[in-house]
Structure 1
Amino acid sequence: MKLSAPVYRLKREARLLSRKDNIPLHQALDRLAAREGYGSWSLLAARASATAPAGKLFPLLSPGDLVLVGARPGQGKTLMSLELAVEAMKAGNRGVFFTLEYTEKDILERFRAIGVERERFNGLFAFDCSDAINADYIMERLAPAPRGTFVIIDYLQLLDQKRENPALAVQVRALKSFARDRGLIIVFISQIDRSYDPSRKPFPDLRDIRLPNPLDLKLFDKTCFLNDGEARFQAAG
């Protein structure tokens, strides 16, 4: 059954419905799922996950890769990153989510939005929202991480926010070397500049990454750009 809108849009609609009708988010999600012809949101999300791009994209990633996932707000870049992490954990690898943006409750909601209960991956998934997050902090926390660990950094531009942090280019270079030495996959969620116009080109690209300070985007091995429920994945180098 074809959905009336991409999952990320339905989830956004559910959040609005939750606020408007003063009901829990899970009830709003189930209400929208019923409208789409499914008995519950978990069934809708499971069906959507079966055809989601992450299942096709994950096998294209290799230990040591630095990956950029970019989109304008509300286009599903966090959900895509988590879906990729789920694929990694299904294969028995660990997943780690570093964020200066979300709370653990937010991430739990996003797991539910893609039809996954975090408990399914107990012992494999870790969440870190420390205010101290930067490249050195991430590498210290990942020192014992085994090869194949899937790491999400939310998001690229926030590493550049504190003046006491090293330059963004220095941090990304350090994380690239660390990923290759340790065999990790590191995904950076990235903002897209507001000047990007989807009416002129269907997907943003590296030229649309919002960069307050210089960064050689050739440091990234692969990119995934999202727009209007579709994804474009390619090698960046």
Structure 2
Amino acid sequence: MKLSSPIYKLKRRARMLARADGIRLHEALNRIAAGEGFESWSHMAAGYADATPARRILRSISAGEMVLIAARPGHGKTLLGLELAVLAGEIGRQGYFFSLEYTKSDVQRRLAALGAANLSDTGALIVDTSDDICAEHVTKIIEQRDCAALAVIDYLQLLDQRRSHPPLEAQVRDLRAFARAKGAVVCLISQVDRSFDLTERDWPAVDDVRLPNPLDLSLFDRLCFLHDGNIRMERAG
């Protein structure tokens, strides 16, 4: 099906519609998509987006889902997570990137590598690198804006590094409940244990996720593994 205008022009039309009718942006986006013959903006955008790994992941996830993105160091998991947050607007969501690993200048350099250096300045992407990041902090920041969210947290193993924060599993359960209640998508970046490097397997698996503290990984809906430039997405459990 051919669109009446390019995606970026349809998005501009949706912003104008939102202002004119006093409705939320995601509602305006869905109206525009319906006018093009699609069920929703996310379905339309996914169908006409370039098939990059991040866009393939966006195409496969649904509202309310929790996604684990796992890899050994140097295999691109943080850049993939950041790209998901950058592209969130293409499916009518507000992108958030929370990092306990990188400074804002680190994130800015990676945004530049993605060709999105100014995105955080416009508010299209919310970047948070504070030391207070935990499940409660993430949900409070997202709730400040009444919109559909796609949040990426970098990274799982650091969430409970402060003794004042709840245990890791309690935080993941809280994030899962929040995602379900608000229709948010929450992606957590995770390390893979170095013992995987000693194996001869082509891909890490759920048993290779590094867990210094107890965590039921069935709390995630989808698992995304990266290795040697390849990506594999699977359902948890």
TM-score, normalised to structure 2, is 0.74
CA drift of 1:198 comes to 7.1
- The root-mean-square deviation of aligned C-alpha atoms, in Å, is 1.9
CA drift of 1:118 comes to 3.0
Who is 1:217 aligned against?
217
2:143 alignment partner, SS class: coil
Cα distance in 1 for residues equivalent to 2:144 and 2:132: 19
Who is 1:114 aligned against?
114
Code of the residue aligned with 2:144 in structure 1: it is P
The answer to whether structure 1 residue 228 and structure 2 residue 198 are counterparts is: no
Alpha carbons 1:93, 1:124 under 8 Å: kept: no
Cα distance in 2 for residues equivalent to 1:214 and 1:75: 25
Who is 1:61 aligned against?
61
Cα distance in 1 for residues equivalent to 2:129 and 2:68: 20
- Judged with a 3 Å threshold, the aligned counterparts in structure 2 of structure 1 residues 119 and 175 are, in CA distance, closer, same or farther, namely closer
- Judged with a 3 Å threshold, the aligned counterparts in structure 2 of structure 1 residues 203 and 73 are, in CA distance, closer, same or farther, namely same
Who is 1:174 aligned against?
174
Code of the residue aligned with 2:72 in structure 1: it is R
CA drift of 1:129 comes to 1.2
Structure 1 gaps, min length 5? 1-48
1:82 alignment partner, SS class: helix
Who is 2:11 aligned against?
none
- Judged with a 3 Å threshold, the aligned counterparts in structure 2 of structure 1 residues 141 and 196 are, in CA distance, closer, same or farther, namely same
Show the 5 A alignment for 1:158-169: 158-169=158-169
1:91-124 Cα shifts (integer Å, max 9, x gaps) = 3321111111111111111112223333388222
Greater Cα offset, 90-99 or 224-233 = 90-99
Code of the residue aligned with 1:82 in structure 2: it is L
Who is 2:140 aligned against?
140
Who is 2:93 aligned against?
93
1:108 alignment partner, SS class: helix
> What is the aligned length?
189
Alpha carbons 1:68, 1:187 under 8 Å: kept: yes
- Judged with a 3 Å threshold, the aligned counterparts in structure 2 of structure 1 residues 198 and 150 are, in CA distance, closer, same or farther, namely farther
2:132 alignment partner, SS class: coil
Alpha carbons 2:119, 2:125 under 8 Å: kept: no
Cα distance in 2 for residues equivalent to 1:130 and 1:215: 24
Cα distance in 1 for residues equivalent to 2:157 and 2:229: 23
CA drift of 1:209 comes to 0.8
- Judged with a 3 Å threshold, the aligned counterparts in structure 2 of structure 1 residues 87 and 76 are, in CA distance, closer, same or farther, namely same
Greater Cα offset, 51-60 or 69-78 = 51-60
Who is 1:155 aligned against?
155
Cα distance in 2 for residues equivalent to 1:134 and 1:186: 13
Who is 1:77 aligned against?
77
Cα distance in 2 for residues equivalent to 1:75 and 1:171: 26
Code of the residue aligned with 2:54 in structure 1: it is A
Cα distance in 2 for residues equivalent to 1:158 and 1:94: 24
CA drift of 1:63 comes to 1.1
Cα distance in 2 for residues equivalent to 1:119 and 1:86: 8
TM-score, normalised to structure 1, is 0.74
1:129-169 Cα shifts (integer Å, max 9, x gaps) = 11111111112222234453110111000012122211111
CA drift of 1:50 comes to 4.4
Alpha carbons 1:96, 1:150 under 8 Å: kept: yes
Alpha carbons 2:86, 2:125 under 8 Å: kept: no
Percent identity over the alignment is 46
1:197 alignment partner, SS class: helix
- Judged with a 3 Å threshold, the aligned counterparts in structure 2 of structure 1 residues 118 and 206 are, in CA distance, closer, same or farther, namely farther
Structure 2 gaps, min length 5? 1-48
CA drift of 1:181 comes to 0.2
Alpha carbons 2:58, 2:84 under 8 Å: kept: yes
